[in-house]
Amino acid sequence: MHQAEIGEMDTGAGTQTPGSAMNQAMEIQRLRAEVKALAKDNARLKKRE
């Protein structure tokens, strides 16, 4: 049970707790922001070529 709570075990579809769903949503939001920043940097660097 502890492994599932800390995200080290795949518990299958539909078995997320509200806490794990929130953690996953926050991680997705963080990764999207990182992708956006990297795309912006990439575009800026391409202009310098």
Q: Please state, rounded to an integer, the average pLDDT across all residues of the chain.
A: 81
Residue 36: band (very low, low, confident or very high) from pLDDT cuts 50, 70, 90: very high
**DSSP-derived 3-state class of residue 5:** helix
> How far apart (Å, rounded) are the C-alpha atoms in residues 27 and 31?
6
pTM of the predicted protein model: 0.60
More confident residue, 3 or 30: 30
